Chains A and B, each alone.
Chain A
Amino acid sequence: MSDTQASGHHARDKAARLHRELEVVWRNPRGLRALTVVNHSTLGLRFMATGLVFFLVGGVLAMLIRTQLALPSQAFMTPEIYHQVTTMHGTVMMFLFAIPVLEGLAIYLIPKMLGTRDLLCPRLTAFGYWCYLFGGIILLSSMALEMAPDSGWFMYTPLSSGEYSPGKGSDFWLLGITFVEISALSAGVELTVSILRTRADGMALHRMPLFAWYILVMALMIVVGFPPLIFGSVLLELERAVGMPFFIVEQGGDPILWQHLFWLFGHPEVYIIFLPAAGIVSTLLPVFARRPIVGYGWAVAAVIITGFISFGLWVHHMFTVGIPHLAQAFFSAASMLVAVPTAIQVFVWLATLWLGRPRMSLPMLWILGFLVIFVCGGLTGVMLALVPFNWQVHDTHFVVAHMHYVLVGGMFFPLMAGFVYWLPLVSGRMPSERLGRWAFWLTFLGFNLTFLIMHWTGLLGMPRRVYTYDSAMGWDIYNLISSVGGFMMSAGIAMVLLDLALHWRFGRPAPPNPWEADTLEWGLSMPPAPYNFASLPTIKSRHPLWDNPALGDEMARGEHALADASHGRREILGGEVLTGRVRERIHLPTNSWWPLFAALVLAVVCISLLVRLYPLALGAFLVAVAMLLRWSWENGGHPAAAPLGDDEATSPPLHSRTRGGPARFTMCVSLMADGAFFLSLLFGWFYLWSVSPQWRLPAESPLDPILLIGAGIAFALGVLWLERRLRRLYAGDETRLSPAFYMIAALGGLHVLLLVALLWQADLAPTDNAHDAILLVSLAYLLGHGLLASLLMAMQGRRAALGYVSARLPMEPGVVALFWRYQLGIYAILAVSLGVLPRVIGGGA
């Protein structure tokens, strides 16, 4: 008897010591140093709190709009202010609220659901947050300065161009949004890699919680979908700032190119917003139906198919532009087809409810609201995909209503369901059921009052974005009803906030796993410790907590993997993509000032571009690059990350002792984003060439063939040499590694020099015609990549000399090699597209 008591005592002591050790390694600093935090829970909450503030700003703007339109011929706002308000409402809700809040939710939840302690790139999380915050502040400051963008949230040229929007408004939009998008891209990259490579032992892809599938697809869509808009923004800002005429017809550009680039991003973006929200539904619904989801495979397939189809729909925003009718028919059918995977999901949910024992509760109420609104929005979406009907209602209030049904129904209602559902996890307290019901009904009824009637207003002919209307049009009563509904919805949202505020003080303490859920995050303490899990579980099914309700306690007692922090490192497990079997221990970087500093300097770049202090912008940009490189210096094989010991455990090994699993993945996914940017560039070139009405290809290509081929050969030699040297390194040969790397870097340098010569010799006139302008952008893109490739290689030379790269630490050069291969690939494609094809097809008029 006393023996078992003693051993129980002993186990408790051991667990307490483990938690103390983990606490020391993982805890967030306080005071000023709280700015250095990289922990995913903290940053996820910061993302969501910041998003909430922006949401309130966007909401106030919406109320201003509804006030102006409540009665005919009102002079509440001047047209100039009204257009700033509508533009900012759309921009804030889309870019500063919807996407970042969902990213924040994913950043907060994904590691907890996957049974790990943090995301794979914690400093990138922090960097993304700061970019989001600073970009958002810069964008909002334009309103305080009364020079907010006013060309509508999709910024069609030429209205947003220098000629028709001479103020700073468009610049605020282009620069601020691009800055915010850095944050979306970093979240996209690291969520993808974390979901693929850091799941708990045994969590094969088919055992992954559905939420992670949705987030994986969303993250990949961000990676591929955002670069076209960044590219478009760069072009438009270049046009506005220095007069490179990408979108000016008379000089060989084309305003429709902007529309393509914008909607190439803009349509996937709708699904980037919808998918995580649908993921919330797929996570909550089985919990409240008290049975596993039926048709898991169907749901996963539907999500993946949605992701693919959503990149083939963008033209349905442009049916009235006058594109060829065959193309319209294709995009019309594709737009309708996306209803299929969506319908599959709706019926997966329905079947789960039907075959389960559903109970009604607050989160379910919000999901019910989601269903009603979203099905409506989906059905009007199918209507809009029909080209002739689209020609009638396009750009009327019918579309405004449809879009709010899809976005508010498809995103905001599930978000609220998730908010109520996960609130106890964050705070340890339950929200109020009664306040919650009031909030729901006010929001739900207010929403439908506003937007259901708005379909009708649109059918009666009211265009969108009119700042006033005349009483004779017969739209008065419908607009008044919409405005009343809008204010009712605001009252509902105020109740949500009230509930949030009160629950911290008066909420009933939450029991463990209050909703009887199946996913791992409910096995954590509430609120979770900064390290989430004291020990990392092994997963055998899709429902770990239903299979073993005691799993949470077991993990807390340190009975599972990686229950050791005496080494002082933040460690998680890396697994195989398909099976989730453990492959390596990954040591994560800790709290740092670099993300904040780098983002601050980028904010300086952004502001100095706004006020057109280009030397300062260039200087700050170089400082930012230097900071990012400095930040990377202490990673990988650097002793500050994980000093090389004499007898290290090799099963599983530390990741920096391998050929680079997770790091290679991160580089690959980053290069996917870069590749999407590159494809947008290529699209721009071929689009202008083939479609732009006044495009002129010069009779003689300005690119010197000798220099073009020479630069390619220099770089190809570098890649070949690097590959050979890598094979020898992996075979254990580390002799003369550093000089070899320096020589390879020198070949990269030669490549850059030849490119500079090519550019010099081409003697382009980029402000004169679109052809030269896009040629210059392409060459600058190659030049930037060539420079970075050479710089990274030279750093490898230095690191090899210092012993950070060696036969025992072979990780880094393989990662850099991926970048070199990429540069070689895009160089070849661009050389053919810019240099060879015009010669083959011929120039002239």
Chain B
Amino acid sequence: MLGLAGCSGDYSMLAPSGPAARDIAWIWWGMLGFFTLVFVVVVGLWLAAFRRREPRERSEGEVRRLSRRWIIGGGLLLPGVTILILLVFGVPVGQRMLTLPLPGGEEPQVIEVIGHQWWWEVRYPDTGDGEVITANQLVMPAGEPVDFHVSAGDVIHAFWIPRLGGKIDMLPGRVNRIRLQADEPGVFGGQCVEFCGTQHAHMKLYVEAMPPADFDTWLSARQAPTDVGEGEQHQAAREAFNEHCARCHRVAGVSQATVGPDLSDIGSRATLGAGVLAMEDGAIARWLVAHQRLKPGNLMPVHDHLDAETLEGLGSWLETLTP
């Protein structure tokens, strides 16, 4: 299988790119340091007990006093103090990811993400200029908080961009909210992290943070009517699409179905099949031929009955769909 050549962002929560992820990474390193110390001391004392020789018989009272010192010190004070410190430092960090009102009274950008077996539907709610729907890619403004409203279309999924912050489950029939922020423009990996069936492994999300101005451009380009390639050249492909694809896929201005991923701007995306293929020339045609080998068990039917020419035509037409 091909690499994720188009997706340069990695998935390490120890390479944070946002305030929430950074705080959590710090908490991790702090806990690791302190707990390593606790571990070394406890195991060291245990080993030392075998090395030393009890010097003399101790009286009953002495034993009781000594053991009480051990048990109260190690069993009550040590965990008690540790827990207190952890809660004092840890609880405020969690607050960052809650969708509380912003201090200045501004409304943060809202992006809706809906999990499906095994792809992501991403919606930018109507801001007066029309709703934007895309799939398997998430473009967000950098340097400002973004609220994600997540849910699921079938089973439970979970929404996670490790370098930006924590995860939240995507549930059918409910909307969960989480606030994340990217410090700088960049590309990050996202991944479904609640087991959701056969292709759970290949449910990746391409996340790109842009400077706010670029983001606005990106969004308004998709709000404008799309050029769906009216020319002669793609006439056959458009007909084939209407016949074989339009019952599941939406292309703005061509079809309205929402069973499978929206394809309105597929030509401009970085990956195909939720992170299975990098988008290159001919990638869509390759996907159309081999998608059950590339992502076994995915819910798109095999199109063996279509000849190679039609599939290629479809592929090259879809590649032109870019605002």
Residues of A within 8 A of B28 (CB): 383, 389, 392, 459
| CB closest chain-B residue, reference A469 | B201
Asked whether, in the complex, the Cβ of B158 is within 8 Å of the Cβ of A333, the reply is no
Q: Are B297 and A393 in contact (CB under 8 A)?
A: no
Known: A387-B90, A460-B14, A468-B201. A158 touches B172 (CB 8 A): yes
Mark each residue of chain A from 675 to 718: 1 if its CB lies under 8 Å from any CB of chain B, else 0. 00000000000000000011000000000000000000000000
Is A395 part of the contact surface with B, judged by Cβ < 8 Å? yes
Tell me whether B167 and A395 are in contact (CB under 8 A).
Answer: yes
| Contact call A386/B3, Cβ cutoff below 8 A | no
Instruction: Mark interface residues in B128-151 (1 if CB within 8 Å of A CB, else 0).
Output: 000000000000000000000000
Interface assignment of B300: CB less than 8 Å from any CB of chain A = no
Is B42 positioned at the interface, with any CB of A under 8 Å from its CB?
Answer: yes
Query: A567 at interface (Cβ–Cβ under 8 A)?
Result: no
Query: From residue B25, how far is it (CB to closest CB) to chain A in Å?
Result: 8
B205 to chain A minimum Cβ distance, whole angstroms, is 12
Whose C-beta in chain A lies nearest to the C-beta of B32?
A383
Are the C-beta atoms of A340 and B97 separated by less than 8 Å?
Answer: no
Residue of B nearest to A472 (CB): B3
CB under 8 Å from chain A, chain B span 77-92: 78-80, 82-83, 86-87, 90-91
Check B35 against A80 for contact (C-beta < 8 Å): no
Provide the bound-state CA to CA distance between A463 and B12, in Å: 11
* Contacting residue for A388 out of B11, B53, B79, B166, CB 8 A: B166
Would you give the 0/1 interface string for A328-347, flagging 1 where the beta carbon is closer than 8 Å to chain B? 11001100110111011111
Q: Does B176 contact A (CB under 8 A)?
A: yes
**B156: interface (CB < 8 Å):** yes
A506 to chain B, nearest CB (A): 29
Using A388-B93, A393-B13 as known contacts, say yes or no to A354 and B83 having CB atoms under 8 A apart: no
- Report A458-514 residues with CB < 8 Å from chain B CB: 459-474
**Given A379-B35, A474-B10, A78:B296 Cβ within 8 A:** yes
Q: B161-174 interface mask toward A, CB cutoff 8 Å, 1 = contact, 0 = none?
A: 01001111101111
Residues of B within 8 A of A360 (CB): 50
A348 pairs with B75, CB closer than 8 A: yes
CB-defined interface of B26-51 with A at 8 Å, one 1/0 digit per residue? 01100100010011001101110110
Q: Are B297 and A298 in contact (CB under 8 A)?
A: no
Q: Chain A's nearest CB lies how many Å from the CB of B104? A: 23
Kindly state the separation between the CA atoms of A358 and B46 in the bound complex, as whole angstroms: 11
Known: A388-B94, A391-B94, A391-B165. Contact between A79 and B296, CB under 8 A? Answer: yes
Closest to B21 in A: A392
Bound form: Cα–Cα A694–B23 in Å = 37
Cβ contacts under 8 Å, B83 to chain A: 333, 336-337, 339, 382
* A348-B75, A391-B94, A466-B200 known; A371 vs B166 contact (CB < 8 Å): no
Which A-chain residue is minimally distant from B35 (CB atoms)?
A: A379
A410 at the interface (CB under 8 A from B): no
Interface residue A668 (Cβ < 8 Å from any Cβ of B) = no
Q: How far is the CB of A219 from chain B (nearest CB, A)?
A: 25
Return B163 CB to nearest CB of chain A, in Å.
8
Of the candidates B3, B58, B68, B166, which one forms a contact with A320 in the assembled complex, judged by CB atoms under 8 Å apart? B166
Chain B residue nearest to A163 (CB atoms) is B154
B289 at the interface (CB under 8 A from A): no
Q: Do A353 and B24 touch across chains, with their CB atoms under 8 A apart?
A: no
Say yes or no: is A151 at the interface (Cβ < 8 Å to chain B): yes
The answer to whether A388 touches B24 (Cβ under 8 A) is yes
Q: Within 8 Å of chain B (Cβ to Cβ): is A156?
A: yes
Chain A residues near B196: list those with CB within 8 A.
159
A586 to B90, CA, bound (A): 56
Q: Flag whether A628 is at the interface (Cβ < 8 A).
A: no
Of the four ranges (under 10, 10 to 19, 20 to 34, 35 or more), the interface on chain A belongs to 35 or more
What residue in chain A is nearest B23 (Cβ atoms)? A388
The answer to whether A351 and B169 touch across the interface, beta carbons within 8 angstroms, is no
Nearest chain A CB to B187 CB, angstrom units: 13
| B82 CB contacts on chain A under 8 angstroms | 339, 382
A158 pairs with B12, CB closer than 8 A: no
For residue B13, which residue of chain A has the nearest CB?
Answer: A392
Q: Decide yes or no: A467 and B201 within 8 Å by CB, A343-B79, A392-B167, A395-B158 being known contacts.
A: yes
For residue B308, which residues in chain A have a CB less than 8 angstroms away from its CB? none
Identify A459's interface contact among B14, B154, B156, B166, CB under 8 A.
B14
- Across the interface, name the chain A residue whose C-beta is closest to B150: A322
- Least CB distance, B315 to chain A, in whole angstroms: 23
Select which of A298, A337, A386, A473 is within 8 A of B71 by beta carbon: A298
Interface flag for A613 (CB, 8 Å): no
A465→B20 CA distance, assembly (Å): 26
Q: How far is the CA of A396 from the CA of B194 in the complex (A)?
A: 9
Does chain A have a CB within 8 A of B1? yes
A693 to B176, CA, bound (A): 13
A83 within 8 A of B: yes
CB-CB < 8 A to B176: which residues of A?
A: 322
**Contact of B35 with A357 in the complex, beta carbons under 8 Å:** no
Name the A residues within 8 Å of B296 (CB-CB).
Answer: 78-79
* Shortest Cβ gap from A404 to chain B (Å): 17
Is the CB–CB distance between B50 and A394 below 8 Å? no
Q: Is the CB of B168 within 8 A of A339?
A: no
Per the bound structure, the CA–CA distance linking A380 and B34 in Å amounts to 12
Closest CB in chain A relative to B15 CB, distance in Å: 9
Q: Which of B27, B50, B156 contacts A159 (CB 8 A)?
A: B156
Min CB gap B36→A, angstroms: 9
**Do residues B50 and A353 form an inter-chain contact, with CB atoms below 8 A?**
yes
From known contacts A372-B43, A461-B13, infer whether A391 and B27 are also in contact, taking CB-CB under 8 Å.
no
Is A461 touching B91 in the complex (CB atoms < 8 A)?
A: no
What residues of chain A lie closer than 8 Å to B110, measured between beta carbons? none
B17 at the interface (CB under 8 A from A): no
The digit string for A353-388, where 1 denotes a CB below 8 A from any CB of B, is 111111010000000100110011001101100111
Q: Is the CB of B74 within 8 A of A321?
A: no
CB < 8 Å neighbour of B70 from A78, A156, A350: A350
Q: Which residues of chain B come closer than 8 Å to A167, judged between CB atoms?
A: none
Chain-B contact segment, one of A208-216, A249-257, A543-551, A812-820: A249-257
A391 to B297, CA, bound (A): 29
- Closest beta carbon of chain B to A402's beta carbon, Å: 12
The answer to whether A391 and B167 have CB atoms under 8 Å apart is: yes
20 contacts between A and B (CB under 8 A): A151-B195, A156-B155, A320-B166, A322-B169, A322-B174, A322-B177, A333-B83, A347-B70, A356-B54, A372-B43, A382-B35, A386-B31, A388-B93, A392-B28, A393-B13, A460-B11, A460-B14, A467-B200, A472-B3, A694-B173
Closest 9 CB pairs of A and B: A391-B166, A461-B11, A249-B173, A344-B75, A347-B74, A466-B201, A353-B49, A294-B67, A351-B70
Residues of A within 8 A of B (CB): 73, 78-80, 83, 151-152, 156, 158-159, 164, 249-250, 254-256, 294-295, 298, 302, 320-322, 325, 328-329, 332-333, 336-337, 339-341, 343-348, 350-358, 360, 368, 371-372, 375-376, 379-380, 382-383, 386-396, 459-474, 693-694
Apart from A159-B195, A352-B67, list 7 A-B contacts with CB within 8 A.
A249-B173, A320-B169, A344-B76, A346-B74, A389-B90, A391-B165, A693-B174
